[in-house]
Each structure stands twice: as structure tokens, then as C-alpha cells.
Structure 1
Amino acid sequence: MAERAGSEAYEQKQFIESFLKRRHRNDSPNRTIETPAVLKLIGDPSGIHVLDIGCGDGSLGSFLLAKGCASYLGIEGSEQMAAKAEERLAGTSGMVERVFMEEYSYPMESFDLVVSQLAIHYCADIDSLFSSIIRTLKPGGRLVFSIQHPLLTSSYKRAEAGTKRSDWIVDDYFKTGKRVENWMGEQVVKYHRTASDYYEALTKAGFKIERFLEPKPDPSLFENQQEYERRLRIPLFLLFACRKEGKENE
């Protein structure tokens, strides 16, 4: 089976349908843990200009526009996923551009907020990416992003495809680099880095890190107590909130 790098897996019809069904189910960890944490770090989006890297189906853009952000641009490498985002944002001022995060032009000092949900762990060169992001932020602008927790990306071994995990393998943590995961029938390429690697890359690019978060499950967001207890066992996500030095946004 061929390896799918970056957004390539999302061009497969069965994969994208399975992904969106999983992503939007009621007990999805994205709905119950990751997205609430991202929104908390973003805060009030009213009046700000937003770039969303790896925007997926445009769900975040739809929410931010409804909350009053001044402008929204989502970039997405997958043609299939970009089409889903355009469909969701139809009738709003939101824009979607089909382009890989590594190849986007990142215009100078154009955005108040750059946000990314669970996309940056697909990028092979985060040093270049973070340098591009900080250039495209206005002085005082912020970067908020989530990644799959490095404890989950560390091991070269994977649970059997299609099974619900009851235990997690944490191994090879300091052996960073490419990982290939059998995920929903595709061999998906991700890049494992330690939490410190992300911290160092961000500070090297010039960011001031304001928050570092491993979001804990909130029982009020779970319909199933057993699923809540299962999600308490290991952190699924790691989030950063960073700021470009300069005048605070007014």
C-alpha cells in the first residue's frame, strides 16, 4: 500500500468520508477535547483577520465568522477537503485557497491570528513553516495550533487498524522523524517530534510562547461516562499559543 504524505490521504473518497464521520461524531475527541481547547486559547475573535492552516472542511472558519472575525482565509492542500470547506463557507465572506502549507506565499504582516488544528504534524520542516508564519503575522499577532500529542506519535508500532485502543504504546520518544501509521485503511505519513522540539522551533523563529496546554477531558462534554474515563488515561493533544513581539492588537 502506498504511503500518503501530507494531505494526500484526504484525496481518497472512502478515507475522507470516514474521516469526516469520525471527526464530527458526538464523542469525537476533536469535539470533546481539542476544539474546545483551541477556542479557549483563541479567545474573542471579533474584528481580527484569520489565517487557518490546514483548514479541513472549514468548520473552524464557519464558527469564527459567526463570532465576528473581520476576515477568514483557510488554506488546504487536499482538493477534496478544500471543496468541502468552500461548500461550508458558501454565503459567508470566508475564503479558501487550495495550497499546501509549505508552499503558501504568507504575505507580510497580514493576519492577526494564524490557527491550525491537527495539521502541523504532517509538515516535514517546521523551522521553515514557523518562520513563514511569524512573517505573515502583524506585530502582536498570535499563533494558536494543536498537534497530535508526541506521546502518541512516538512509537513505530501501532494498534491494529480498526480496533478501539485500550492501551497505548509509548516508545522511541527521542527518535524523531517520519512515522507511517495505518489509519482508516491508508498508510499516512506524520512527523514525530518531542514537545521540546516544538518549543525550540517556535522560539528559534522568534515567537514568545504564552500557553502550553495538554487539554484535560471535561466530563460535561461527554455523553458516555466510560468514554470519558478512557480519555483520562493519556493526553491526545498538545496545544501552543504564541505571540509575535510588537504592539498588541487593539
Structure 2
Amino acid sequence: MSENIYDNPDFFNSYSQMERSKKGLEAAGEWHTLKEMLPDFTGKRVLDLGCGYGWHSVYAAEQGATSVTGVDISEKMLQVARAQTNLEAVEYLHEDIEKVRFEKDSFDIVISSLAFHYVEKFDELVKKVHHFLKANGTFIFSIEHPVFTAEGSQDFIYDEDGNIVSFPVDHYFDSGKRMVHFLGQDMTKYHRTITQYFESLRQNGFRVDQLKEPTPGEEMQDIPGMRDEFRRPMMLIFSATNTK
């Protein structure tokens, strides 16, 4: 079973106070880029891996998806998702995204937002997605950028006055486990290079169509800390097609 820090009461309470937790997709710095990359959901069967609060599941249903299945390991996240979702097309499953199983060709689109850097065996997950995503189906996901995950601390280096000096990038080619301190808690994440993500897709039946490094939109520039997001990439978005 994957680590489930999100059901830790202290962590969950802190996470729920973040702007993106309170305001949804419009408060997510990567959303304006991801939104432009999403396929047409009309009449499609959609799987949302690591659905969290269900923001993306609800969006897919609102855009015409016939059915949306959101999967998450955190019961606390799913409680919020269920409470704020009033669409019959959306259902939520309390499952580990590394363990969940579906029949072959069950979905037309698979999406995931900022979940796969918690996955230890990405290759195996890609193979499973290839199995239950139909031919020519779309697989689109965002992750923490390998530049952001490489060194492990995921924080800037500051001078004695608290001003940002730089962002550390080290051990980039040493993929594997990273221990991260976030919102007062220690957690496990997994670092991979851009090449490793790309090759996992290519070698397991996918054609990579788009690769983007999102930055916050102009409308978010006045939010404290957002301008610092231009100093280094924090996220990476892949869009791929199942070539079967």
C-alpha cells in the first residue's frame, strides 16, 4: 500500500488551508496550462487517478463525460469530494492507484493531477493504464518537475536576510526515494528524470504528444510567492496517446 499522509489529521488540516484546497482549480498555478491540453470529454469514459478533492473529476463531468471514476487512497480527501459532488456521472473509489484494477479498454481518457511522484513503480502503473485505456485513448497527467524533486528538500536556498538566492538541483540522475518535509510532516516521494518518464510511456505503448512546464497565469501574479515560481520549474505535464 502506498504511503497515505493525507489521512494524517494534522497534515490534512494544514493541506485544507492551502489556496488550491479552498478555491479549487482556479487557484492551481498549473490549471490554465493543463486546461488547454485536456481533450474533449463529451461522451467519454474518464478515470481520474489520485483524484483528491475531485476537482478534475467534476470538471470532466461538467464538460460532458458520460462517466467519471475518481480513485484516491485518502478517505479524508474522498469525504470532501463526495460532499461537494452532485453529479450522477461521477463516482469515487477508495483505492490505492497502484493497486486498483479495471477491465481492458474500460476508459477513453485517463487523467491524474500531482499524484505520480508518490508512486514507487511508475513503469508498472503505465502498463496498467495501457491495459484499461482503449486504443487512441488519451493519458494526461501532471507531476512535480524532476528539477523540483531532484535534491529532495524542495525549497529555495536563502541568504541570512531571508532572501531567495537559488534553488538546489543535485543528484538529478539518481532516481528513487526522496524524504520531503511539507506542511510540518515528513513524507516519501519518488524522483525520476524527464527521460525516465518519457521512456516509460514510449516503451509501454504510448506516443507522447505534448510536454509542458506550466507557470502561473497573469491573473495569479499578485498572490504571495507566485512570482517565485518563475525561478525554477515546479511542475511538468505529459499528454500521451495509447497507440496499442
Q: Which moved more, 1:206-215 or 1:227-236?
A: 227-236
Rate the CA distance shift 1:205–1:47 in 2: closer, same or farther, 3 A: same
CA distance in 1, matches of 2:243, 2:90: 27
2:201 is matched with which residue? 202
CA distance in 2, matches of 1:59, 1:165: 32
SS of residue matched to 2:109? strand
Over the aligned positions, Cα root-mean-square deviation in angstroms equals 2.5
Residue 51, structure 1, aligned to residue 52, structure 2: no
Deviation, structure 1 residue 7: 4.8
Rate the CA distance shift 1:28–1:101 in 2: closer, same or farther, 3 A: closer
Q: How does 1:1-250 map to 2 (within 5 A)?
A: 6-24=2-20, 31-159=27-155, 167-219=166-218, 221-222=219-220, 224=222, 227-245=225-243
Runs of 4 or more consecutive aligned structure 1 residues displaced over 6 Å after TM superposition: 25-30, 163-166
1:32–1:222 contact (8 Å) kept in structure 2 = no
CA distance in 2, matches of 1:61, 1:73: 7
Deviation, structure 1 residue 93: 2.3
Rate the CA distance shift 1:63–1:28 in 2: closer, same or farther, 3 A: closer
Deviation, structure 1 residue 223: 5.1
CA distance in 2, matches of 1:183, 1:52: 24
The unaligned stretches of length 5 or more in structure 2 are 157-161
CA distance in 2, matches of 1:43, 1:232: 27
Q: Give the fraction of aligned pairs with identical amino acids, expressed as a percent.
A: 28
Deviation, structure 1 residue 35: 2.0
1:117–1:145 contact (8 Å) kept in structure 2 = yes
Deviation, structure 1 residue 143: 0.2
Aligned length in residues? 239
TM (norm. structure 1) is 0.87
2:20–2:27 contact (8 Å) kept in structure 1 = yes
Code of the residue aligned with 1:72 in structure 2: it is V
Deviation, structure 1 residue 89: 1.7
TM (norm. structure 2) is 0.89
CA distance in 1, matches of 2:43, 2:4: 34
